[in-house]
Amino acid sequence: MLSLASYSRVASAATYVDASVMVGDGDKSSVRFSRHALGFKNRDRATIIADILNTLVNNPKGKRKTNIRQSANLSSYMSDKYLDFLLHNDFIKIEGGGIYKPTTKGLRLLQNLDLHYLKMAHTF
């Protein structure tokens, strides 16, 4: 399981991203990391992907493209680009009515991204 005991906080709580990830054995693992914890001003690709997946994980019924765009704070062009990438690589799926949901593969990716962010935060 992931532990955030020594994870440093940044000035604004609004920069945190929360997620609950279902692990393979059925346990729920809560993850919280900051996109600015490493001192970067702009988000990298992995952080944007994690933001999109977190948005979908936090809503079990799924979300429409507009809701994802707003929650992940992306432009129309950028959201289309990243959603196409995630769909093409089977990290998310579209169900009836244009509802996006994460796949098991997407949940594993999110868990791995969060783990790597935590490792990087500990090295700085």
* pLDDT above 50 for 19: no
Residue 3 belongs to a domain:
no
Angle of CA points 104, 110, 111, to nearest 5°: 90
Closest to 46 measured CA to CA, from 91, 13, 95: 91
pLDDT of 100 reads 97
Residue 36 placed within a domain? yes
Q: Mean per-residue pLDDT for 76-82?
A: 95
Q: Is beta strand 99-102 parallel, antiparallel or unpaired with respect to 92-95?
A: antiparallel
pLDDT attached to residue 42: 81
Average pLDDT over residues 87-112: 94
Asked whether residue 118 is domain-assigned, the answer is yes
* Stronger pLDDT, 44 or 57, i.e. the higher one: 57
Does any domain span residue 18? yes
Residue 31 has phi, psi (to 5 degrees) of -130, 140
CA distances from 42 to 47, 53, 109 (A): 10, 18, 21
Q: Is residue 50 part of a domain?
A: yes
Q: Distance (Å, rounded) from C-alpha 40 to C-alpha 43?
A: 7
Mean per-residue pLDDT over the chain, rounded: 74
Give the whole-angstrom CA distance, residue 107 versus residue 24.
Answer: 9
CATH code of the domain containing 35:
1.10.10.10
Domain count, the chain: 1
Per the listing, tokens 């093409």 go with 88
4 within a domain of the structure (yes/no): no
* Residue ranges making up the domain that contains 93: 13-123
- Please tell me the pTM assigned to this model: 0.65
Q: What is the pLDDT of residue 44?
A: 85
Q: How many residues does the chain have?
A: 124
Q: Is residue 7 one of the residues assigned to a domain?
A: no
Residue 1 lies in a domain: no
